[in-house]
Amino acid sequence: MACAEPAANIAAQQATTFLQRALDGFEALRPHLEDVARDRGADLLEAHQRVRTAARLKGMRVDVRPHLPPDVLGVYVLLPVG
């Protein structure tokens, strides 16, 4: 698999401007991020249930709930060359 290689850095002020634009639009992404968190929680619950069924474990209840809003650990702004 080919990986993207950075071609150059941009000026600090440009970086600040692009990052601020991304952060200004972040609230519009929140519903999607919360949907993804719920979907991942449902997938995790199904995985736990499959393991318990395969191991023939009974009498245990598993509850999986996402902690909303999800934490955002980083924001990356990728810009095309040219």
Q: How far is CA 58 from CA 15, 43, 44, 77, in A?
A: 55, 20, 18, 48
Q: Which residue ranges in the chain fall short of pLDDT 70? A: none
Decide if 64 contacts 41 (C-beta within 8 A).
yes
- Residue 19 is predicted with a pLDDT of 92
- Sequence spans of domains, the chain: 26-66
pTM value > 0.85: no
- Scan for tokens 């023939």, then name that residue: 56
